[in-house]
């Protein structure tokens, strides 16, 4: 299999799996968590991890919920981000496996939240992390895929920068 074909398959499989997991868990959350009161959580790991349904008309972690025309604007922003992901994917070296995986996560996460925004005008969130009494705003699998994808992209960039900055093997430095 050619490296270019492998790049496309890795990206596509990662994007489709993250999109499927996102939409599947949102269906479960709407069916099982939405009927509960919005303040009521299902404790998974006491003090660390709960499930609690909420709906978000803004972006990740509840930001920009009161944005006028937000549904259209945020949908257009997601489409633009997806176009950038495809553009960047085409420009990558076919051997950059970690980057293709990262772009697949970003693409799948963007599409997952875009589907919600187009169909319902809001995104379903249900994962709540807690740490030492502090609670992270509710999020979903698409948000997690986006964050992990962006972190992998940053890691790839840092490692690439370090690789290109390193002197050639056998080179001597200084006097």
Assess whether pLDDT exceeds 70 at residue 175.
no
Helix (H) / strand (E) element for 148: namely: helix 141-165
The Cα 107–Cα 49 span in angstroms is 26
The Cα 61–Cα 112 span in angstroms is 15
Nearest to 62 by CA among 5, 12, 128: 128
Contact (Cβ atoms closer than 8 angstroms) between residue 48 and residue 131: yes
What pLDDT was estimated at residue 71? 66
More confident residue, 163 or 96: 96
Residue 123 bridge partners (DSSP) = 56
* Residue 164 domain flag: no
Long-range contacts of 12-15 (CB under 8 A, 24+ apart): 12/104, 13/104, 14/100, 14/101, 14/103, 14/104, 14/105, 14/107, 14/108, 15/104, 15/105, 15/107, 15/108, 15/111
What pLDDT was estimated at residue 172? 56
* Residue 168 domain flag: no
* Residue 141 domain flag: yes
- Mind telling me the catalytic residues? 125, 143
In this prediction, residues 10-32 reach a mean pLDDT of 97
The Cα 70–Cα 13 span in angstroms is 30
Tens digit of each residue's pLDDT (9 = 90 or more) over 128-174: 999 988 998 899 999 999 999 999 999 998 987 777 766 666 655 55
* Residue 115 domain flag: yes
* Burial (0-12, 13-18, 19+ Cβ within 10 Å), 160: middle
* Residue 171 domain flag: no
**Could you identify the residue written with the tokens 């420009």?**
91
In this prediction, residues 82-90 reach a mean pLDDT of 93
What pLDDT was estimated at residue 76? 85
* Residue 173 domain flag: no
Assess whether pLDDT exceeds 90 at residue 125.
yes
* Residue 106 domain flag: yes
Tens digit of each residue's pLDDT (9 = 90 or more) over 35-80: 887 678 899 999 899 999 999 876 554 555 555 566 677 788 889 9
Q: What is the span of the domain harbouring residue 141?
A: 3-159
More confident residue, 32 or 63: 32
In this prediction, residues 114-138 reach a mean pLDDT of 91
| Helical segments of 33-127, H only | 70-91, 97-120
Counted domains in the chain:
1
* Residue 125 domain flag: yes
């Amino acid at each position: 299999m050619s490296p270019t074909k492998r790049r496309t398959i890795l990206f596509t499989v990662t994007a489709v799996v993250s999109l499927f997991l996102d939409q599947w868990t949102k269906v479960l959350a709407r069916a099982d968590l939405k009927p509960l009161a919005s303040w009521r959580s299902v404790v998974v790991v006491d003090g660390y991890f709960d499930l609690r349904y909420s709906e978000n008309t803004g972006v990740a972690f509840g930001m920009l919920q009161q944005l006028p025309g937000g549904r259209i604007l945020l949908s257009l922003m997601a489409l633009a981000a997806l176009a950038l992901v495809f553009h960047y994917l085409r420009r990558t070296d076919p051997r950059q496996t970690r980057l293709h995986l990262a772009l697949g996560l970003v693409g799948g996460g963007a599409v997952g939240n875009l589907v919600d925004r187009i169909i319902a005008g809001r995104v379903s969130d249900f994962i709540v992390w807690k740490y030492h009494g502090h609670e992270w705003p509710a999020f979903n699998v698409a948000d997690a895929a986006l964050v992990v994808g962006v972190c992998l992209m940053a890691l790839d960039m840092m490692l690439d920068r370090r690789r290109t900055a390193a002197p050639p093997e056998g080179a001597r430095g200084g006097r």
